[in-house]
């Protein structure tokens, strides 16, 4: 069965705004739900309702597909929480072979995911209080035994945190068999609580913070020297670097170290290895743009002294340039379209898109859409871009300034209002009789017509008319950014396709569709 192929009797329904929409197959609905997952309430759906919908859909899919999707979400889409939920729910339903063991081993890519999975298993199976976790699925246990054999002392020590379920608890519950004497000695260290403290930026800064200094200035200089040491050592991971740019700037590291930070950020190989969501770069970019005057990096250090010691805010431009280069590197593998391929990119900036991607994030859902659109624009040669709400408006921006382009759209979203009149994108093409080869909408798919009494037009019928009268070979790609389980057009009919997710890996799915494949080929290439 093809992943993107819907049944002939694709059912009609209404979306959250009461507009006509189309149901997805269980596999497609699960795919869109998983790769847009966040453990927080969304505009139209509470978190508990989303988890219950996930359980319902899993019951309708083949266990092998669910397992492959879990591994795909972890290893290709860089997601962490939802793969653990998938394997936990799958373990309730499936037995008789080693599928759960293979999926468990496949989704545990970091040492802390051993304890995270156990905590997830405990919560979703309601094993609390007197029913506290004391046993688990045999196949999950086997998968976790494989995972235990995968990590070294540094990895265990780095993630041996004071959480409800500790690494020691996991070891006793899973009972992994050491592969040699050296690993047995490591397991003994976990039991006895004497793992060697790892050299990480967190432990180094924490240790420094426990020391006594003669003055605030001496303490500030010590922290500056420590940051320089961390940068020079290469022990500061890419994600940590990305999230600490303000700190690094404000403690006043030397220009030589500052250049090393910029070079690391912009290095294409480092970008690929870091596996960061594209919007992480946007968050760092905005953090720098929003920085005001020099602030004291340490308590007790006045702003005047801080500025005298560390006034290197003039380097911000170089950091912004480095982030632009990093994002361009992340877009380098997107298959671009030639100069004859006419592309239109339309971004939904409606009210439902202006919700955070997670409870703690400052990034909004429409930021993700803008980011993916600008990444794609940077690889297209013949391209128009715009945004829609109550109105549809095209905006001219340079092709290669990805992050600054997102900011430009971000500042102007109020110009089109906050409805979700996506039909206006196609109506405009029809009215102007403009031929496009590919039309791409970045949206939560809850499109409607805010003026039905005036014209009653719907995007589905407009697209069919556009195909029939203006551009017979045109294709429309819906980039579903929230996975509510329905779409405004019939997918896999009339040149309509569905892509979903927040990672730049969505463009691999797009490329597969361009070459006559399906999104399922990516998932089926993963061995659970």
Mind listing the pLDDT tens digit for each residue in 34-93?
Answer: 998 875 566 657 888 889 999 999 999 999 999 999 999 999 888 999 999 999 999 999
Residue at 23 is within a domain: no
Inter-residue contact 349 to 416 (CB < 8 Å):
yes
Please check whether residues 48 and 127 belong to one and the same domain.
Answer: yes
Measure the CA–CA gap between 325 and 266, rounded to whole angstroms: 5
* pLDDT computed for residue 470 by the predictor: 97
**Residue 103: both structure tokens together:** 């999926």
Between 386 and 510, the more confident residue is: 386
**Residue 182: both structure tokens together:** 């050296």
Please check whether residues 361 and 276 belong to one and the same domain.
Answer: no
Residue at 6 is within a domain: no
Residue at 205 is within a domain: yes
Please check whether residues 351 and 495 belong to one and the same domain.
Answer: yes
C-alpha gyration radius of the chain: 25
Residue at 5 is within a domain: no
Measure the CA–CA gap between 197 and 213, rounded to whole angstroms: 24
Please check whether residues 347 and 463 belong to one and the same domain.
Answer: yes
**Residue 218: both structure tokens together:** 């001496």
Residue 437 phi, psi (nearest 5): -85, -35
CB atoms under 10 Å from CB of 414, counted, come to: 9
Of 128, 130, 99, 105, which is closest to residue 117 (Cα–Cα)? 105
Please check whether residues 124 and 183 belong to one and the same domain.
Answer: yes
Check pLDDT > 80 for residue 192: yes
Could you give the angle at the alpha carbon of 75 between the alpha carbons of 84 and 244, nearest 5°? 90
Q: How confident is the model at residue 252 (pLDDT cuts 50, 70, 90)?
A: confident
In this structure, what DSSP letter does residue 356 have? Answer: B
> Of the given ranges (107-116, 148-157, 483-492), which has the lowest mean pLDDT?
483-492
Check pLDDT > 50 for residue 2: no
Q: For residue range 259-308, what is the model confidence (pLDDT) as tens digits?
A: 999 999 999 999 999 988 898 999 999 999 887 544 444 555 555 555 54
Final residue of a structural domain among 286, 304, 329:
329
Residue 292 structural domain: 201-329
β-strand partners of 438: 343, 475
List all residues 6 or more positions away from 428 whose beta carbon is below 8 Å from its beta carbon.
Answer: 392, 434
* pLDDT computed for residue 250 by the predictor: 83
Inter-residue contact 98 to 522 (CB < 8 Å):
no
Residue at 3 is within a domain: no
Q: How much is the average pLDDT of 113-133? A: 84
Please check whether residues 347 and 320 belong to one and the same domain.
Answer: no
Q: For residue range 368-385, what is the model confidence (pLDDT) as tens digits?
A: 999 999 999 999 999 999
Please check whether residues 300 and 247 belong to one and the same domain.
Answer: yes
Final residue of a structural domain among 147, 172, 192:
192
Q: For residue range 393-437, what is the model confidence (pLDDT) as tens digits?
A: 999 998 889 999 999 998 888 899 999 999 999 999 999 999 999
Please check whether residues 275 and 320 belong to one and the same domain.
Answer: yes
Q: How much is the average pLDDT of 10-21? A: 79
Inter-residue contact 4 to 475 (CB < 8 Å):
no
Helix boundaries (H) for 175-254: 181-192, 201-209, 216-233, 238-243, 245-250
Q: How confident is the model at residue 10 (pLDDT cuts 50, 70, 90)?
A: low
Residue at 9 is within a domain: no
The percent of residues above 70 in pLDDT, for the chain, comes to 90
Edge-to-edge strand list for the sheet holding 486-487:
12-14, 20-23, 486-487
Q: What is the SS3 assignment for 348?
A: strand
* pLDDT computed for residue 528 by the predictor: 73
Please check whether residues 356 and 460 belong to one and the same domain.
Answer: yes
Whichever domain contains 455, its CATH number is 3.40.50.410
Final residue of a structural domain among 144, 163, 192:
192
In the chain, the number of structural domains is 3
Please check whether residues 342 and 404 belong to one and the same domain.
Answer: yes
For 241-375, strand residue ranges (E) read 337-348
Of 245, 345, 250, which is closest to residue 286 (Cα–Cα)? 245
Please check whether residues 271 and 215 belong to one and the same domain.
Answer: yes
Please check whether residues 173 and 103 belong to one and the same domain.
Answer: yes
Residue at 66 is within a domain: yes
**Residue 33: both structure tokens together:** 């739900």
* pLDDT computed for residue 302 by the predictor: 54
Residue at 351 is within a domain: yes
Q: How confident is the model at residue 327 (pLDDT cuts 50, 70, 90)?
A: very high
């Amino acid at each position: 069965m093809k992943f993107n192929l819907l049944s002939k009797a694709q059912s009609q329904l209404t979306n959250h705004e009461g507009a006509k929409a189309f149901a997805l197959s269980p596999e497609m609905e699960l795919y869109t739900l998983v790769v847009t997952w966040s453990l927080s309430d969304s505009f139209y759906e509470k978190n508990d309702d989303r988890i219950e919908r996930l359980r319902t859909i899993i019951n309708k899919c083949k266990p092998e597909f669910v397992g492959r999707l879990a591994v795909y979400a972890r290893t290709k889409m860089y997601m962490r929480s939802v793969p653990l939920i998938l394997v936990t729910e799958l373990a309730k339903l499936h037995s008789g072979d080693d599928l759960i063991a293979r999926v468990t081993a496949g989704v545990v890519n970091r040492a802390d995911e051993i304890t995270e999975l156990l905590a997830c298993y405990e919560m979703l199976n309601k094993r609390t209080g007197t029913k506290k976790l004391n046993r688990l699925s045999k196949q999950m246990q086997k998968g976790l035994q494989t995972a235990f054999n995968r990590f070294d002392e540094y990895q265990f020590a780095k993630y041996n945190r004071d959480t409800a379920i500790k690494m020691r608890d996991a070891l006793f519950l899973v009972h992994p068999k050491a592969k040699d004497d050296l690993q047995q000695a490591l397991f003994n260290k976990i039991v006895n609580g004497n793992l060697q403290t790892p050299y990480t930026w967190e432990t180094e800064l924490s240790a420094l913070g426990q020391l006594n200094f003669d003055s605030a200035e001496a303490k500030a200089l010590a922290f500056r020297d420590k940051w320089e040491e961390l940068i020079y050592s290469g022990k500061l991971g890419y994600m940590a670097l990305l999230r600490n740019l303000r700190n690094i700037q404000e403690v006043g590291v030397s220009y030589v170290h500052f250049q090393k930070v910029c070079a690391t950020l912009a290095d294409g190989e480092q970008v690929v290895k870091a596996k960061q969501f594209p919007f992480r770069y946007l968050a760092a970019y905005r953090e720098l743009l929003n920085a005001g005057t020099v602030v004291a990096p340490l308590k007790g250090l006045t702003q005047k002294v801080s500025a005298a010691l560390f006034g290197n805010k003039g380097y911000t431009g170089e950091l912004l340039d480095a982030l632009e280069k990093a994002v361009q590197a992340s877009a380098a593998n997107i298959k671009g379209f030639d100069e004859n391929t006419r592309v239109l990119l339309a971004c939904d900036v409606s009210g439902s898109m202006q919700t955070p991607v997670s409870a703690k994030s400052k990034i909004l859902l429409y930021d993700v859409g803008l980011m993916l659109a600008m990444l794609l624009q940077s690889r297209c040669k013949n391209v128009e871009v715009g945004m829609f709400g109550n109105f549809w408006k095209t905006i001219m921006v340079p092709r290669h300034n990805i992050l600054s382009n997102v900011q430009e759209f971000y500042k102007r979203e109020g110009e089109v209002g906050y409805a979700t009149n996506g039909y206006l994108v196609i109506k405009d093409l029809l009215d102007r009789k403009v031929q496009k080869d590919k039309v791409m909408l970045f949206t939560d798919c809850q499109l409607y017509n805010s003026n039905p009494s005036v014209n009653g037009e719907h995007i589905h019928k407009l697209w069919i008319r556009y195909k029939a009268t203006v551009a017979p070979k045109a294709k429309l790609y819906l980039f579903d950014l929230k996975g509510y389980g329905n779409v405004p057009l019939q997918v896999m009919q009339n040149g309509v396709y569905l892509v979903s997710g927040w990672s730049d890996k969505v463009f691999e799915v797009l490329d597969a569709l361009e070459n006559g494949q399906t999104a399922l080929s990516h998932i089926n290439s993963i061995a659970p």
